[in-house]
A = this chain, B = another copy of it.
Amino acid sequence: MKHQEAIIAELLTTAFQDETLRNAYYEAVQQKQFKKGDILLQQGQVCRYSYSILSGVVRGYYIKDGRDITTSFNFADDMVMSLESATRQTPSPETFEVLEDTLVEEISVEKLMVLRERFPVLEKIWTLSAESYAIWLEERLASLQFATAKERYEQLLARYPEIVRKVQLSHIASYLGITLETLSRIRAKG
């Protein structure tokens, strides 16, 4: 679940000026360091934790017919969890895997829900995040629906220039819905 929105960041800053909230949050949260290859959530398991990335990169993907299909790349300030699995407590459709050493704040979904109920501003932030995530998905969908492979790659680069340095091509390719070879050729031509 990705969002990154100025207004959300702002609200968070404001919210954290409240000491009661801040204390409750840091009591619920646990800082954790993961390393390359670690799995935050496994496809098929119920999502019990949400991770807020402080630094590092996390990839979301699922395996379908033996193929590894990337659904998202997540960086600092992104919230990593399966929205579907966390809200419905159903098996997660996706796996989240750490791509490089990554520092996160971990919170259990249960405690997250309690905090949301207790602090309306957090509930507000949650709602805005869900909206923002939906809008992000809409954009991604439009890109996938009618842009060519080359256009999709350029759109991705424009939005996340750092991605190419950090993530291997096969993951970027499946994220774009193309094969690794096609992506390599697109890059070669420019």
Residues of chain A whose beta carbon lies under 8 Å from any beta carbon of chain B: 1, 62, 64, 67, 69, 71, 83-84, 87, 93, 123, 126-127, 130-131, 133-135, 137-138, 140-142, 144-146, 174, 177
Contact = CB atoms under 8 A, between A and B. Distances in A.
A124 to B, nearest CB: 9
Q: List the 5 closest pairs (A to B, CB-CB), nearest first.
A: A137-B137, A134-B134, A130-B130, A145-B177, A127-B127
A133 B84 CA distance: 11
A141 B135 contact: no
Given A64-B146, A123-B127, 19 more contacts: A1-B134, A64-B142, A67-B146, A69-B142, A69-B145, A69-B146, A83-B135, A87-B131, A87-B135, A93-B138, A93-B142, A127-B130, A130-B130, A130-B134, A140-B141, A144-B177, A145-B174, A146-B174, A146-B177
Contact of A145 (B123, B126, B135, B144): B144
A144 B144 contact: yes
Q: How many copies does the complex hold?
A: 2
Contacts of A87: 131, 135
A138 B69 contact: no
Contact of A131 (B67, B130, B138, B142): B130
